[in-house]
Structure 1
Amino acid sequence: MGKNVAGKLGKGISPKQFYDAMQKNQEAFQGWSSRFEWVNGEDREFFESINNRDDLRCVIIASDWCGDVVRNVPVVFQAMELTGMSVEVLIMEEHLDTIDEFLTMGGRSIPIVIIADTGGHVLGQWGPRPSYVQEPMVAFKQANPDREASDYQEKLALARQELIRRYGDDTAYQQDIITELRTLLASV
């Protein structure tokens, strides 16, 4: 049986409430949001075309302290806004039962974007970061299964440095998010 978030539909907060309640990183979040632009008209049209579907819901597990949330969720918010889809945010610390159903390689990585139907059946998910940016972490976790190893933290720090390098200082990574979300939505 597949995953279901029916018990969480209607329990989250709106994207605006999430932004307004941010205790950390609000300025950076707004900065990435204001720098977002639609590079490809076809992508924009695709997200707008979802407007005629009333069978989809979007639930995003996030927290304001997380750098990946700050980089990625502004893009997700803007893409989902065009779909007209119901979008709600679950603060991870208040919904540990939910994040524990959507672990990334055994860890609580956020954001996780969940696309579900009106009955809460999970049709797909995205996150915590674009696949190109995520690659070094996947490689690290596969090569370093022992969290107690003496060099684990050192190697983890190197993997995180590579993630930051792959994000870069510009907004190119944002197009990866749009492409991956479009692929996900096209499949549901």
Structure 2
Amino acid sequence: MGTTVAEKLNKGISPQQFIDSMQKNKEAFVDWHSRFEWGSEEDREFFESLNNRDDLRCVIIAADWCGDVVRNMPVVFKLTEAAGIPTEVLIMEEHLDTMDQFLTMGGRSIPVVLITDTGGHVLGQWGPRPTYVQEPMVAFKQANPDREASDYQTNLAETRKEIGRRYGEGAGYQQLVVQEMRKLLASV
């Protein structure tokens, strides 16, 4: 990728500090965190096998007000903890310079999960949602390029409903995060 976040390494807060400092959505975050289960023993073993590596870091751009952070970060925290990957969180509003390096379809979408080497070179990126959950937003952005269009907000509301439907009521979506993070980490 050639992108680096070297100047941001060790400038973030720990996953526990992030949870402790949450002003919004803390109960929901903790609930999703407590509902995490490994989909397979093979997945658990893969992440635990990464404990042998000391060359990876994880930097996450997030904020407590974001629903996708509340849904997905508990899973990412569980995975990086199992893998022994040092993880830190950059609060989006405090690190807009970094946020603007990692836009999603031109927008500030969080969380952004960056897997880096010890020097801060970005090896891989995940977020803001699992691909299946993100598909409606990709389609929406392609079909609605004009933010001033009369039906833009209506279409956006419908898209958000579909994203919610794809997340579902239970914690099943978490396995999508596990699979995508596993694929990403297997490639670095």
Secondary structure of 2:49's counterpart equals helix
Q: Percent identity?
A: 74
Secondary structure of 1:119's counterpart equals coil
For structure 1, the residue ranges without an aligned partner over 5 or more in a row are none
- Distance between the aligned counterparts of 1:149 and 1:3, measured in 2? 35
Following superposition, the deviation at residue 143 of structure 1 comes to 0.7
- Distance between the aligned counterparts of 2:187 and 2:145, measured in 1? 32
**1:62-102 deviation line (CA, Å, top 9, x unaligned):** 00000000000000000110111110000000000011000
Instruction: List aligned pairs for 1:37-52, cutoff 5 A.
Output: 37-52=37-52
Counterpart code for 1:181: M
- Distance between the aligned counterparts of 1:32 and 1:141, measured in 2? 28
**1:145-182 deviation line (CA, Å, top 9, x unaligned):** 11111111110010000000000101110000000000
- Distance between the aligned counterparts of 2:176 and 2:40, measured in 1? 12
Counterpart code for 1:152: Y
- Distance between the aligned counterparts of 1:11 and 1:119, measured in 2? 14
Counterpart code for 2:100: D
Show the counterpart of 2:70. Answer: 70
The count of corresponding residues between Structure 1 and Structure 2 is 188
Secondary structure of 1:172's counterpart equals coil
- Distance between the aligned counterparts of 1:119 and 1:70, measured in 2? 28
Show the counterpart of 1:156. Answer: 156
Secondary structure of 1:57's counterpart equals strand
Show the counterpart of 1:99. Answer: 99
**What value does the CA root-mean-square deviation take over the aligned residues?**
0.7
Structure 1 residue ranges (4+ consecutive) displaced by more than 2 angstroms after TM superposition? none
TM-score, normalization: structure 1? Answer: 0.99
For structure 2, the residue ranges without an aligned partner over 5 or more in a row are none
Show the counterpart of 1:167. Answer: 167
Show the counterpart of 1:29. Answer: 29
Show the counterpart of 1:4. Answer: 4
Q: 1:60 aligned to 2:60?
A: yes
Following superposition, the deviation at residue 115 of structure 1 comes to 0.2
TM-score, normalization: structure 2? Answer: 0.99
Secondary structure of 1:39's counterpart equals coil
- Distance between the aligned counterparts of 1:144 and 1:2, measured in 2? 31
Q: 1:130 aligned to 2:130?
A: yes
- Distance between the aligned counterparts of 1:116 and 1:106, measured in 2? 22
